[in-house]
């Protein structure tokens, strides 16, 4: 009993104040779980159509996402804020469904190789919209990652690599999640800015305004729910007509359970915990580990091999992602430092005014009187 109690105390301590090694282990485990989804879903897609597979996966994942949205404790959407949901659902729905379409057509290794492009496409979209700067190092990192992915997908030859349509689907799948992140960033920024203005304008907030504005988990659940409705419209007919449920192998059932529970619930939950305790660079860089895990599992389970050009391309992609992530983290730290300095300046000014017994309105009136009495 003593060892069990010690282990329980250790895990509780790690949960609230984890060692850096624990966070690294968690992020590696997350990418292993994602890689497992690529590998286990490949054989199952021979029996279940991609959109039907995605429909079943999201059915299992939605209760967990709903629970995360409740834990966030934010208020409900207002009517104008609901307009953010349809474009988010469209973007994330493509990411959810096309990953199985690409897996069925191009295999798990090629599908995993484009996943590190997600932070690259996100940074590019944010820069185009003026939400993030685009310094030279970031541009260089994007070019390196793009070249590495092109090499890994063998776009230089349609004889040995995925065809043009397959490459297009792979890039669209990875980039669509970047579009979702950009839409989420823009929506959260506008809503939080409006919330701050309302809080300052109203001295006594109502019961609705005591809760924080909608957060990322509520947006994720709402967008996923709407995306599931559209995906189910495409996937349900295939589940009814194209799937022979009586002869469906047990491995296909297990693949659906794995994608819905191990990947969507456990992996996303563990990733959210790890991200809250580490620097913003690490989670995006660790997306390259997914490629390594997928290659190893594909070799062991499916007998697929990764060639030298794919290995070099994946390495270049990871290096480009690391460079872009490093630049973005420096930008975040600079913004946080500027925000802290502005808040400290406001607090110092407020303390000075309280010390002199002078309100801002009184100071403005005094300044007008001084200007009126000054000589011409």
Whole-angstrom CA distances from 171 to 43, 54, 111, 166, 223 are 23, 19, 9, 9, 21
Which residues, at least 6 apart from 136, have a Cβ–Cβ distance to it below 8 Å?
A: none
Mean residue pLDDT of the chain comes to 79
The band of 284, judged by pLDDT with boundaries at 50, 70 and 90, is: low
In this structure, what is the dihedral angle of CA atoms 289, 318, 171, 180, given to the nearest 10 degrees? 80
Nearest to 259 by CA among 49, 60, 90: 60
**pTM of the prediction?**
0.76
> 202-226, pLDDT tens digit by residue?
655 454 456 788 888 888 899 999 9
The stretch 343-350 carries a mean pLDDT of 71
DSSP state of 82: G
What angle is formed at CA 104 by the lines to CA 98 and CA 107, rounded to 5 degrees? 105
> 313-336, pLDDT tens digit by residue?
888 888 887 777 777 777 777 877
- Per-domain residue ranges for the chain? 22-335
φ, ψ at 222 (rounded to 5°): -65, -45
Extract long-range pairs of 217-220: CB within 8 Å, 24+ residues apart: 217/65, 217/68, 217/69, 217/71, 217/72, 218/69, 218/72, 218/74, 218/77, 219/84, 219/85, 219/88, 219/184, 219/187, 219/188, 220/65, 220/68, 220/69, 220/92, 220/184
The band of 139, judged by pLDDT with boundaries at 50, 70 and 90, is: confident
Spatial contact of 288 and 338, defined as CB atoms under 8 Å apart: no
In this structure, what is the dihedral angle of CA atoms 195, 200, 203, 209, given to the nearest 10 degrees? 10
Nearest to 186 by CA among 332, 88, 86: 88
The band of 374, judged by pLDDT with boundaries at 50, 70 and 90, is: very low
Q: Roughly how many angstroms between the first and final C-alpha of the chain, as a whole number?
A: 88
pLDDT score, position 209: 52
Dist CA 375 CA 372 (whole Å): 8
Percent of the chain with pLDDT over 90: 20
pLDDT score, position 55: 95
Q: 216 versus 4: which is more confidently predicted?
A: 216
> 21-50, pLDDT tens digit by residue?
777 788 788 888 888 999 999 999 999 999
């Amino acid at each position: 009993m003593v060892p069990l109690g010690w282990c329980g105390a250790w895990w509780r301590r790690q949960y609230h104040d984890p060692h850096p090694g624990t966070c690294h282990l968690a992020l590696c485990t997350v990418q292993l779980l994602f890689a497992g989804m690529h590998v286990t879903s490949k054989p199952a897609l021979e029996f279940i159509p991609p959109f039907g597979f995605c429909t079943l996966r999201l059915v299992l994942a939605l209760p967990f996402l709903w629970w995360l949205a409740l834990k966030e404790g934010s208020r409900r959407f207002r009517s104008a804020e609901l307009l953010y949901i349809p474009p988010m659902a469209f973007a994330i729905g493509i990411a959810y469904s096309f990953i199985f379409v690409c897996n069925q057509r191009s295999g798990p290794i090629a599908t995993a190789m484009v996943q590190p492009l997600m932070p690259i496409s996100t940074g590019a979209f944010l820069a185009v919209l003026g939400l993030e700067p685009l310094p030279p190092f970031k541009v260089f990192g994007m070019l390196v990652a793009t070249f590495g992915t092109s090499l890994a997908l063998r776009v230089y030859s349609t004889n040995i690599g995925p065809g043009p349509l397959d490459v297009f689907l792979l890039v669209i799948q990875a980039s669509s999640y970047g579009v979702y992140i950009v839409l989420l960033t823009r929506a959260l920024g506008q809503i939080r800015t409006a919330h701050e203005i309302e809080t300052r304008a109203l001295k006594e907030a109502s019961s609705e305004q005591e809760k924080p504005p909608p957060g990322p988990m509520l947006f994720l659940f709402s967008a996923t729910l709407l995306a599931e409705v559209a995906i189910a419209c495409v996937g349900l007919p295939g589940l009814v007509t194209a799937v022979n449920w009586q002869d469906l192998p047990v491995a296909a059932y297990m693949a659906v359970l794995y994608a819905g529970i191990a990947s969507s619930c456990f992996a996303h939950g563990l990733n959210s915990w790890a991200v809250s305790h580490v620097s913003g660079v690490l989670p995006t860089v660790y997306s390259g580990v997914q490629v390594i895990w997928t290659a190893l599992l594909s070799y062991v389970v499916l007998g697929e091999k990764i060639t030298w050009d794919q290995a070099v391309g994946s390495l270049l992609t990871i290096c480009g992602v690391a460079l872009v992530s490093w630049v973005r983290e420096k930008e975040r730290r600079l913004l946080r430092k500027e925000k802290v300095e502005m808040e400290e300046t406001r607090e110092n000014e407020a303390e000075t005014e309280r010390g002199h017994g002078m309100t801002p309105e009184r100071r403005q009136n005094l300044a007008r009187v001084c200007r009126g009495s000054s000589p011409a």
